[in-house]
Structure 1
Amino acid sequence: MMAGERRTLLLDFEKPLAELESQIQQVRDKSSELGVDVADQIRDLEQRARHVRQEIFSKLTPGQTLQVARHPRRPSTLDYIQAISDEWLELHGDRRGSDDPAIVGGVGRLGQQPVVMLGHQKGRDTKDNVARNFGMASPGGYRKAMRLMEHANRFSLPILTFIDTPAAWAGIDAEKFGQGEAIAYNLREMFRLDVPIICTVIGEGGSGGALAIGVGDRLLMFEHAVYSVAPPEACAAILWRDAQKGPIAAESLKITAPDLLKLGIIDEILPEPIGAAHSDPVQAAENLKQSLGHHLADLQKMSGAERRELRYQKFRRMGVFSQANES
């Protein structure tokens, strides 16, 4: 990555770390020019940089976590699929006339196990993001996802979904072609599938657009991902008519992995490398692959009826609370 690009992608709270990395590079450059051994100095600076990186990423606010989840270099669905699968064949189309690029999916192998993998796909740059509508799927995208899941159920293939979207597409055409119906249909149908379903929030999980491929036996979530009923900016615009108050809304929405684990929404937090998944995508993918293999082996011990019942009970428990009687 070029230095200019690195500065462009730098998050505000990463500046102290960037300054240290700049110092390390300056020391290296000077040592090359003067032929001086500065190994000890560089070692000390690198150790300090690791400490600063760990300090920064261990104390992120919900608003900062949201920035990390949206980082343009964060691994995408296709990145993870290519990293964890031994074979992969992408399948296209919803068989109703569209092939939404904001949802990708196909057949692959996780170790020796054939699986169907699908998820939201954001772009890497402005042109790619526009082509993929920033990962915001249309009705056709969710119908394509459901077609692939029905294919998996027909051939007894486990389903792995990867969630990474701000929300479902909210355009006029989306409503015209039945966005609400497409999402509702997916929610209903995912509950009846016999095969194991493991859903993972890899980046930004926003609104019904995320939930439409998020009904599963296990819901995993990366450490610096977010999962929310609505994007914080949208929530702030509704409550205070000011989208700039998104960070305040993020605090109240409980969008982070630790909060959601405590609330019983997710089943496991996947650790990320120090500096988040975009700093070491290979290690992040390895963490994901190990967890998927563990949960898949556990779920395959059950019958289809047992999985359906556990899936149903899992979602029935969400939001349940008890109220003490007032004396």
Structure 2
Amino acid sequence: MAPYRKDADYLARLLGDHQVNVEIGLAGNNLAELLAASPGVLIGTHEALTPAAIEAVADHLNRQPSWAEMPVVVLLDRASRPDQVRAELSRVWPRARLLFYQRPVTAVELVSGVQSALLVRLRQREVRDHIAREIELRRELNHRVKNILASVTSIFEMTRRGATSVEVLARDFRGRLGALDKVHSAVFHAEDDAVSIAEIAALTFEPYMVGDDERIVAQGPPVTLHREAGTTMALCLHELTTNAIKYGAMSRPEGRVRFTWEVSKTQAPELGIRWKEYGGPTVEEPMRIGYGTRYVRSALTSMFGRPPQISFERDGLRCEARGLFSPLSATSDSHGS
């Protein structure tokens, strides 16, 4: 703001030569509009500080968010009383960083002061971004904690209904929480809040592998899932593994399990998973569907958007599921190979 002579044009050229973009404003209609754009620094000559301009700036400063404190550079004329001007402007503009220069001021001094003020403004906006990110992280943390507590509550209730003793309840509940803990640890240490199916399988099957034992084989292309899908996958694999150890192929030394996955190379790629047991005892369809089967069916239906095929074949349990890959993928263009 420099209404007299060619001061505004001179300042614009001077600062423009130092890569500082300048907008010229007056105490008229466009001042409020320019201030609404949240300028980095406001520069005003002494004679530009009319009551209307002071009021417009004061209104803008009062509307600033908590992180902001707009720097204001005031160029005083020779006849001014700096202490009096400073006291008055500090009173009407309490939320401004005031810098005063007595004219004539050298170009180097003014440019240096403006650049320093812009740096202050940049730091303020970094604080703004940090605050916004912290608020978002708190919301996300709150959402995740609620989801985890809901999962734990559901797991406990369904485990309790199928338990025949306190010992069985404690053992099964502990195992299911362990599966949840493993995949959350994997996601925590992974980049972009994602985890691969291969890593999920390795974490789930590791406790049941001894040496070079290949009783459980997991095989498929590189596929990365987002956190929710990865958690669901881990819990389902844990349930299938637990069932195989209790009643299926893993209950006998010669029993084997094969877990595979693939991504179809079609216009709308689909992810398919397959669990197959063989070499175990003869399988008979149970009279009552247990927690594990109910959970796997419900979880995979929610995950893939269609129910899985679970069949109790005589030579071993089969479980297959397939659905669109894009809603499950950690990256929109991740198709595996």
- Please report the TM-score for the alignment, with normalisation by the length of structure 1: 0.26
Structure of higher RCO (CA pairs closer than 8 Å, 6+ residues apart): 1
